Structure 1
Amino acid sequence: MPLHTDEHTGARVAHARKVRRLTQRELADLSHVSYSTITKVEQGVMPASPSVIGALARALSIPVAELTGQPYLEELRRDQLDGLIQPIREALDVYDLGPDPDVAPRVLEDVARDAEQLCALVRATDLKAVATTLPSRIHEATTAAHSDASDRSWQVLASTYRTAYDVTTKLGYHDLCTVALDRMEWAAQHASDPVLSGVRQYMRALAYLRAGQYRTGKRLVSLGLATLDGAPSSRERDVASGQLHLGASVLCARSQDGDAAQGHLDEAERIVARTGPAERVHWLAFGPTNVGVHRVAALAEQDLYPEAVETASTLTIPENWPKSRTSHHYAEVARAQLWMGRTESAFKSLQHARKVAPQQTKYHPLVRETYAGLESAKRRMPETFLNFGAWLGV
């Protein structure tokens, strides 16, 4: 049966299509998405994959977020998270004003320690705690950088900007996350740190991945790798390079270039043989587990769902692996299981994602699309399924 609410991606696709005065067949021709897929997505009987959403958004000349409904304002208000965004926005806007006379920064190492703690909290997906604290940390780090003007102080400021990117992305404020990335690059340039610049290009490529602009995303990966080529050899540089290759593997997979995706995964595998587990280097979660998780993601993005689920079954996720990455992985596995018709397994994977990282899972568009697909499936679901939907707000 179709979704019980008109507030789903398919309904938004239909509305945007009608505003553009396009028929479903005309949209199919423009987007290169099949007519039958568009029909089923609009009716709410088929979940829209990220690649389909990206293709439709490009054809309709609108942001992906307009189709996914992000940010989910009603849920954010209910969780008292919406009011935390404006202070972050204001903190990002004063980057070039010099030291704030009303801010007395602590010694730099204390500021740096708190910046690292914020990164750790993001990986633990304690988004409300981070969003509450972040504006004051940005103001303090900004004043410290302008006052101290050392490479280290600019690196610390770049770290706070990176956390702003993480938080705003996870809560669905994609316009603000691009501002945070611009600020991160500005601080990285002041710090003369090419590795930070490379990490920023990786995150920027992910933003274009979410926007369905894969060609630009791949160009940013190439630019990031070129930037890192100018950095001195180090484990830190290797980790950033490896993560760029992992990002490229998903970009290539989503654009249906399986050979290129495999090439990037193989290169990441070679790099991880040198670095070993390096989850805390720039908090990128790089290591053998992340390479395995990206293999699953690349297969799923190519609609190779049985292979993705089989590969996932061979992975052992360490208990101390970042919760943000673990939760995202289970959301991807759930989508693959749904497309295989394994609805009970898919719901269990969604529940696992929620258990690991509830705040992130609640605002994850992939989770919502997968739940919509499960709701539309002609299968009996346990009572806990309805409770899960109420928790999501759908």
Structure 2
Amino acid sequence: MVPDPMRDVGRNIAALRRMANMTQLELAAAAGVSYAMVRAVERGARHPSDDVLDAFAGALGVDPSRLLGHRGRTDSRVHDMVPRLSKAIAAYDLPEDGPVRPLHELRGAVAELVNWRVGAQYLRIARTAPLLLEELSRALVMDQREETEVARLLVSAYRAADAVAYKFGHRDLSARLVELMRWVAPMAVDPLLDAIVAYVRTETFFAARAHGPGLRALEQAVDAAPAPDDVPSKAARGSLHMRAAVISGRAGHADAAVAHLAEAHRLGDEVPEGVYQGTAFGPSSVRIHEVSVAVSLGDTHLRRALDIAHEWTPPRDIPAERRSGFCIEVARAQLWAGLRDDAFESLKEARRFAPQHTREHPWVREDVATLRRLKRADREDLSNFADWCHAV
């Protein structure tokens, strides 16, 4: 029987509504739609428009991709919005006239953007970031008295936009957004923010496979970072060591990777797990990066990645993108170790945590394609997964 997309969307909405302990009337009120609309959508009689779908997603606290299911074309909707993002930053220093909300409202809008980023809700960012970036650019030009605060908000907003550009393969746009972060960060006069910008800049080195220069840039950032005298400064420095460990592994520098990882562990043990300056850091985040380092180094180091995956899983309070990344790294270690069924299960787990992040990850496509070659390519579940992530 051919699946009915309308019925699938309705079932997903109904299931998530029940999980949220909401009635249909409560969902209608929270989404700003009629009760009749909720009933019709849930039973498959009507298919919601993009705006209504986003309203349901907002009311349920999930990304629209969760409502669309694995057949949803979230990726194409994100790509369609990239030109708007490019336009928003083209005249970053010469913004057009327009409204600017009070500073406390801008803080709330940026905080929401940051939450979407760590939750891998890229479609929401792509829809919201262009207008918000233009508004923040106007605020920066119009009110010099609030320059430091607006600059801080702009860094966070550029970073959220960069997550969309980088994850969806728009690497030139990503590099441009990173450079804008570097341009505006000094206006915030915050050394901790400078450290986070250095952390994000590593993406450009990963994309270019310039691991040696990337490691040097991170080590310079570590030297320039504030002394780790309090929780925020420990988190900032620890995040840099965590990132340096991974890029050392990619460069094949095992000794450097081990040294940076040891520093990250030491600092991670001194702070509670949390999101600091937009970056998740703490004992669990460092452990996740330990898996990434082991996979990057390969060979005899893979055993460590498998051992961690066997004895530990990321807590539920870890951001969705990071949990998904952990499963993707583990899947690669399992695949290389010949544990093909385990690798596929890990990839499915990554999809459950953060579908958009998993779908756009190049390793997922590579590993699923490999699994189809090694296993029966006509296996329906594997073929469906490969079609979903564009591995075929």
The answer, yes or no, to whether TM exceeds 0.5 is: yes
Q: Which residue of structure 1 aligns with residue 93 of structure 2?
A: 96
Q: How does 1:137-148 map to 2 (within 5 A)?
A: 137-148=132-143
Which range moves more in the overlay, 325-334 or 302-311? 302-311
Question: What is the Cα deviation at residue 220 of structure 1?
Answer: 1.2
Give the match for residue 260 of structure 2: 264
Deviation at residue 89 of structure 1 after TM alignment: 0.8
| Match in the other structure for 2:179 | 182
Give the SS at the match of 2:169.
coil
Equivalent in 323, 329, 332 of residue 332 of structure 1: 329
1:169 maps to 2:166: yes
| Matched residue SS, 1:140 | helix
- The amino acid across from 1:268 in the alignment is A
Question: In the alignment, is the contact (CA less than 8 A) between 2:156 and 2:278 conserved in 1?
Answer: no
Residue 113 of structure 1 corresponds to which residue in structure 2?
108
Which runs of structure 2 are paired with 1:15-94 in the superposition (5 Å)? 79-94=76-91
| RMSD over equivalenced CA pairs, Å | 1.9
Partner AA of 1:343 in structure 2? R
- Give, in whole Å, the separation in 1 of the partners of 2:216 and 2:386: 38
CA contact (8 A) 1:188 1:194 kept: no
The Cα of 1:153 is off from its aligned counterpart by 1.3
Cα deviation for residue 232 of structure 1 reads 8.8
CA-CA distance at 1:392 after TM superposition: 1.5
1:246 is the counterpart of 2:226: no
Q: Which amino acid aligns with 2:266?
A: R
Query: 2:93, 2:219 → 1: CA distance?
Result: 29
- Tell me, in whole angstroms, the C-alpha distance in 2 between the residues paired with 1:232 and 1:109: 30
TM-score when scaled to structure 2? 0.77
Partner of 1:206: 203
Deviation at 1:104, TM superposition (A): 1.1
- Structure 2, gaps ≥5 residues long: 1-71
Maintained 8 Å contact 1:249/1:264? yes
Shift of 1:311: 1.9
Residue identity in the other structure for 2:284: T
Q: CA deviation at 1:379?
A: 5.3
Equivalent position SS for 1:275? coil
Q: What is the Cα deviation at residue 274 of structure 1?
A: 2.3
Report the residue type matching 1:116 in the other structure: A
Q: Does 1:298 align with 2:299?
A: no
The separation in 2 between residues aligned to 1:380 and 1:166, in whole angstroms, is: 33
* Cα 1:380–1:167 shift into 2, 3 Å: closer
Cα deviation code 1:226-272 (max 9, x no counterpart): 3314x794422221111110111111112222221111111011112
Which of the numbers 382, 385, 389 marks the counterpart of 1:385?
382
CA contact (8 A) 2:302 2:333 kept: yes
Question: 1:83, CA displacement in angstroms?
Answer: 1.6
Letter paired with 1:157? L
CA contact (8 A) 2:166 2:174 kept: yes
Alignment of 1:353-372 (within 5 A): 353-372=350-369
Corresponding residue pairs, total: 316
Change in 2 beyond 3 A, CA 1:261/1:194: same
Displaced runs of 4 or more, over 6 A: 75-78
Q: Which letter maps to 1:203?
A: V
Counterparts of residues 188-227 of structure 1 (less than 5 Å): 188-227=185-224
CA distance in 2, matches of 1:377, 1:270: 41
> Residue 275 of structure 2 corresponds to which residue in structure 1?
280
Q: For residue 154 of structure 2, what is the aligned residue in structure 1?
A: 157
Counterpart selection for 1:127 from 100, 106, 122:
122
- Structure-2 change in CA distance of 1:78 and 1:210 (3 Å): closer
Is residue 368–residue 386 contact of structure 2 (8 Å, CA) maintained in 1?
A: yes
Q: Distance in 2 between matches of 1:361 and 1:319?
A: 17
Which of 1 and 2 has higher RCO (CA within 8 Å, sep 6+)? 1
Structure 2: distance between partners of 1:159 and 1:380 = 43
- Identity, in percent, stands at 32
Instruction: Give the C-alpha shift of residue 212 in structure 1.
Output: 1.3
TM superposition shift of 1:205:
1.7
Distance in structure 1 (CA, Å) of the matches to 2:386 and 2:158: 33
Question: For the residues of structure 2 that align with 1:76 and 1:212, how far apart are their CA atoms?
Answer: 30
| Paired AA for residue 124 in structure 1 | G
Measured in 1, the distance between the counterparts of 2:268 and 2:305 equals 21
TM-score when scaled to structure 1? 0.76
Query: Aligned with 1:79: secondary structure?
Result: helix
Runs of 5+ unmatched residues, structure 1 = 1-74
Question: 1:78: Cα distance to partner?
Answer: 6.5
* Inter-partner Cα distance in structure 1 for 2:280 and 2:117: 12
